[in-house]
Amino acid sequence: MEEDFRNGTVTEAGLPDRVAKVKQAEAELVAAHLVAHLKTAEILKPDQIGAYNRSRGDELGTPAP
């Protein structure tokens, strides 16, 4: 869509549908990302979860909910 804006091919009439498609794709990506966190937590031991969380920037290393 960004390229279409640069090219001047985006129309006002088509914009709501385009935005909805982009947001749907973003939502699917976020959901997949969060599912990966849940699956990771399922297979790690508590001490591994702490190390995993610290590696992600959580200084306390507390287990994810």
Over residues 2-37, the pLDDT tens digits come to 898 999 999 999 999 999 999 999 999 999 999 998
Nearest to 25 by CA among 17, 37, 36, 15: 17
Mean per-residue pLDDT, 35-60: 85
Top-confidence residue, 41 or 33 = 33
Which pLDDT does position 63 carry in this prediction? 54
